[in-house]
Structure 1
Amino acid sequence: MSVNAAQTGGDAEKNIQEQEVDVEKNNYDANVADEEPEYINAHQSVGLAVIEQQTIIPTTGARKVTTKKEYWAYVLWFVLGQGVGVGNYGSAVQQALLNQAFPSGFVEWGGRYLPLNSMILDLTGILFAVQVVCLVLIGPYADYGNWRPYILQFFTFILCATTLGFAGLKNGSDWQVANFLYILGSVALNVANSFYFAIFPGLVRDLPKMIESEQAVLNGTRRPEEHARLDMLERSKLYNITNIVSSAICLVLLGMATGVAYKIGTATQEQLDLGYRVLVGTFGAVNVICCIPWFVYEQYRPGQQLPKNTNFLSAGPKQLWQAAKYAKGLKQSIIYLVAFFILQDVLGTAGTVVGILQNKTINFSTMGFSGLTLILYLGGGGGTIIANWIQQRWKISVKTMLIIGVVFQLLPLVWGMIGNWTTKVGFHHTWEFWANSCYNVTGGFWGSYSIIMITEVVPAPKMYLFMALFNCVGKTSAFIGPFIGSAIIARAGGNTNAAYYFLLPFALVGFGALLMINTDQAKIDNALFLEAESQDLYEHTAQMEKDIPVVQVAPMIVH
């Protein structure tokens, strides 16, 4: 057979297949035309549940489209949220001054003599308790009206001021001031982060592409589940970008810090003190620079309207009562709240324990500390890039990414546990802390997706309330963990590794709770919860359930 003949035969076969496709499609269209239109609602469709959450509660103004400047200014703010100033260098200054003031390693604290490490864990518990009080007082009110931006502005100011304040501490006699600045700065950091995280789901849902996708679903030209997947991926993308960009900036700054520490020297205590003052002051100035664009370009988005016969003071308690009243319907949110409570407790306390062991092992060297922190951020940023690429490439769910992250985080706990039985490994040597900093490449999975997961399981218009709630639970657990760890260390005669006897088993319980969560059911539950609130507090009836037709898409025919 000639090439032309074969080609002619192939074209004929292709034409026959195309005719068959047209016949099947025409038959499908005819059947659809003869049928009554079908309708689905947010009780049946995850995608419609996602959309309904945005519209069912009345707001104080019109929707505002997210701009590129606003998007990237939001990303830049998170350089502060990484906590390099107060969280890393500030805590290192505090520990260094305490060791100068109490060279014996013991301090009179609470009417008894305790190891310094136990007192530091007690202080960590105190600051977490103060954070809980702040979040409980502010969180229930933050979803109403247009005042939410001022919350972040206020705590950002406190954070920048305390970071710069560390630059004025000179020797061990300033240890009480260091404790005060550490507690105040850490409270500001964590409360600011809580309300910062509450912003990004709204930014994503107001992106032009998301508004277009939402409208296509409402017009019946796009499947709701496609919109839900796009929403999930875009939320993950923005939060991951904030981590990647802020880690990259911190990486550059930490590289500079290592050079500054080397130039100043680390041979004497005076050089160490000067190095820390210069570095923490530098990071304080950088924090100021990075927060300004967000406060310039942020659009003041509308919050919820106050319910009928409700003033601002009574709105918070009423919202809490509404959440408690229908808590049974938010089963998935509650399960994740339990998992989050446990895992935040374990991993937060584990980070403090590793930090204590690390600073003691490297003798509070500014150069060593800067190098370790640099590698830590390099790994964290690189890990987030990898995690985001994997998720976006294969469209993996947030829950699956989080499970991977928790598995990675369990391994250092096992390593620390081994340190109770041998000094060969188990965070007793400098090389282990360098290895641990490198291992932070896996931290991007947990660090990002533990927060993104909250936005998967809580009602969208209640993001500030639930972010505050999750942060309260996380901080409550985080002061329980340090207190328990402190008691275990004290009973073990100052053996810091003994804390892992508590941390590892507790982490496994949290991991088991995480496996039980169904994020699709959570979105439908959230829509039902908001429908009930709309009817109870606003006397509105949900219309979404009878306005959205099933998307009539012809089936794909493959030969």
Structure 2
Amino acid sequence: MSNISKDTGNNQEGPQMKANNTNSYHSTLSNDTVEAESVWNKASIYRSWLLLCYTTGPVASMSRTYVPAAIQSVARLVGKSSSGGRCDIRGNDCYVKFGVGKVHYTSYVLYLRAIYTALEGLLAFFMMGVADYANYRKWLLIGSIAAYGVFALPFAGLTNKDYSTLKGLSALYALLNIDDSIYQILEGSYIPLFMRASAPPGEYAEEVRREMVLKRGSTVSVMGLFLGNLGGLTALLIGIIISYGRGGPMEDGYHNFLLAITIAGCITVVFSIVSGYFIPSVENKPRPKSENLVFLTVKRFFQLLKNMKKYPNAFLYCVSWVIWNVTFTNFMSVFVLLFRSTLGLGSSDSEYTVYTFISYITASLGSLTWMFLYPRTQIKMKTWGYGFLGFSLFTNFWGCLGINSKTKVGFKHRWEFWVFEVLYSATSSAQRSLNRTLYSTLLPEGEEAQYFGLEVMLGVATGWIGSLVNAAIQDRTNNDRFPFLPNLILVGVSIFLYYLSDTEQGMKDVSKLVEENISEVNENTEIVIKKTK
């Protein structure tokens, strides 16, 4: 309270006026609305949301690590070398059928990723238009997470070494990727609700309120990611136990991955059903009765584009975040496949399970460390972002060094994979938490799902291009490290846009809108009172 008094002491009438505005505002609201706003301050609701975040972790970790690794293994087993012989466990001379031609077996996974990301974009476009309307956001979230687990269940049965199995794995990989965009949009849209509830408009001086919201946002965002990583660690720990306890021949080692994926799916399905009983419904905006959902989606998208003039910094930040996220996805897609192809498919499978497990631990520690340090230092949130983005730039530069066969470094040795995986995972997880927090403060109230949908939609709408470019480069050059070069350029663009976005002004833009809404409500109330008299 001493900090609050200090910041508001320069204007003696300010706090009282703000309090009067708040009382006037709340007096015009219905009891149901006030009660709905207070729900998001309850610890039980917050814990229920965290449980949902945990629920997505098991399958999410599998879809990013074990699923592409299993597809890569099967692709090597069914593929042929350029001379028509069997593919070696190391090296790049291995090609599989893809459409009417053949592609490099590692590029096959990247091509799949590009196609599925494009499909994600279409679904995200629809979701961002309708998720803020009607009161079914909760059930969309629960249903999408439950389906996420269901899609992981069949993997344990796909153990044959033929093209039919490869196609089956590829189809399930598609379903997982497409569903991923749904729950990400809906899960992220809850963050601003928790943040705003911590400091309602009008109760504090604006600078104090902004700092309170940021601190609350850093905690909510980090804990959401941490619980997701914890769920991923649960599944990866099961994978380690299976890989080292069950054993198996070198060529069939990926069967352990398939079993771990199915078990992860079971965990996700069970916990999603349990969580559904505790998460409250969100009172969303009423849907215009005269418009169907498809037309409404298109209309809202164009309205969103018009809002660029109102919230330019929100859009700049969104684009910067999207580009960075594309680079992160591209980097990890190439990095995990490069680990196995460099150290040997089959022979490195057990080490790969430990490797992915450690990456999730370091990611969790990275975001938690940032959450602890941010409120205890004088470093601004945006300044932290420069440091995290700078390391992302350096990591991609390090990968580019390996393009030249004469260079001794550039992810050519075991120690490089381990060192950079630890540091890159930690800083990237912290950057993702920071992005979700800062972005949430720039969003107009009542349109959270649409703006988080915009981030996901832009990410998948452009991400498939990066995956396609990386796959084409790798397929043409047979050099697993070449994709780091376009990624390096994209990180540079992301940093430039991050620099251009004025986040403090963006927060003020949203605050002005809240104050205008309060004034409008008060004016309407006075008019009603006069007419009544």
TM-score band, normalised by shorter chain: 0.7 to 0.9
- Among residues 449, 456, 476, which one is paired with 2:441 in the alignment? 456
* Residue 74 in structure 1 maps to residue 65 in structure 2: no
Does structure 2 conserve the Cα–Cα contact (< 8 Å) formed by 1:405 and 1:442? yes
CA-CA distance at 1:376 after TM superposition: 0.2
CA-CA distance at 1:277 after TM superposition: 2.6
Does structure 2 conserve the Cα–Cα contact (< 8 Å) formed by 1:107 and 1:115? yes
Change (3 A) 1:546 1:240: farther
Matches within 5 A, 1:222-261: 222-261=204-243
Distance 2:184 2:393 in 1: 25
Give the corresponding residue for 1:501.
485
Change (3 A) 1:273 1:322: closer
Query: Structure 1 stretch 482-491 or stretch 505-514: which is displaced more?
Result: 482-491
Deviations 1:215-241 (A, max 9, x none): 7x44xxx32321221111111101111
Give the corresponding residue for 1:290.
271
Give the corresponding residue for 1:168.
157
* Residue 427 in structure 1 maps to residue 411 in structure 2: yes
Name the aligned partner's letter for residue 175 of structure 1. L
Give the corresponding residue for 1:129.
118
Change (3 A) 1:317 1:475: closer
Does structure 1 conserve the Cα–Cα contact (< 8 Å) formed by 2:80 and 2:96? no
Change (3 A) 1:394 1:321: same
For the aligned residue pairs, the C-alpha RMSD in angstroms reads: 3.5
Give the corresponding residue for 1:554.
none
Name the aligned partner's letter for residue 425 of structure 1. V
SS of aligned partner of 1:497: coil
Name the aligned partner's letter for residue 443 of structure 2. V
**Unaligned stretches of 5+ residues in structure 2:** 82-93, 527-533
Name the aligned partner's letter for residue 373 of structure 2. I
CA-CA distance at 1:278 after TM superposition: 2.3
TM-score normalised by L of structure 1: 0.80
Does structure 1 conserve the Cα–Cα contact (< 8 Å) formed by 2:69 and 2:337? no
CA-CA distance at 1:85 after TM superposition: 2.4
CA-CA distance at 1:530 after TM superposition: 7.3
SS of aligned partner of 1:496: coil
Give the corresponding residue for 2:362.
379
CA-CA distance at 1:545 after TM superposition: 13
Paired positions, count = 493
CA-CA distance at 1:131 after TM superposition: 0.7
SS of aligned partner of 1:478: helix
Give the corresponding residue for 2:508.
524
Distance 2:479 2:243 in 1: 30
CA-CA distance at 1:370 after TM superposition: 0.9
CA-CA distance at 1:59 after TM superposition: 7.3
Identity %: 20
SS of aligned partner of 2:69: helix
- Among residues 52, 60, 64, which one is paired with 1:87 in the alignment? 64
SS of aligned partner of 1:108: strand
CA-CA distance at 1:250 after TM superposition: 3.4
Matches within 5 A, 1:44-59: none
Deviations 1:106-144 (A, max 9, x none): 123243322122222111111111111111112111111
Give the corresponding residue for 1:341.
322
Structure (1 or 2) with the larger CA radius of gyration: 1
- Among residues 473, 486, 493, which one is paired with 2:471 in the alignment? 486
Does structure 2 conserve the Cα–Cα contact (< 8 Å) formed by 1:405 and 1:444? no
SS of aligned partner of 1:376: helix
* Residue 445 in structure 1 maps to residue 430 in structure 2: yes
TM-score normalised by L of structure 2: 0.83
Does structure 2 conserve the Cα–Cα contact (< 8 Å) formed by 1:152 and 1:195? yes
Give the corresponding residue for 1:6.
none
Change (3 A) 1:518 1:437: same
SS of aligned partner of 1:214: coil
Give the corresponding residue for 1:180.
171
SS of aligned partner of 1:296: coil
CA-CA distance at 1:311 after TM superposition: 6.6
Give the corresponding residue for 1:14.
none
- Among residues 503, 508, 520, which one is paired with 1:541 in the alignment? 520
Give the corresponding residue for 2:308.
327
Query: Structure 1 stretch 437-446 or stretch 459-468: which is displaced more?
Result: 437-446
CA-CA distance at 1:346 after TM superposition: 1.8
Distance 1:443 1:326 in 2: 30
- Among residues 406, 410, 425, which one is paired with 2:389 in the alignment? 406
Query: Structure 1 stretch 101-110 or stretch 354-363: which is displaced more?
Result: 101-110
Give the corresponding residue for 1:11.
none
Change (3 A) 1:545 1:223: farther
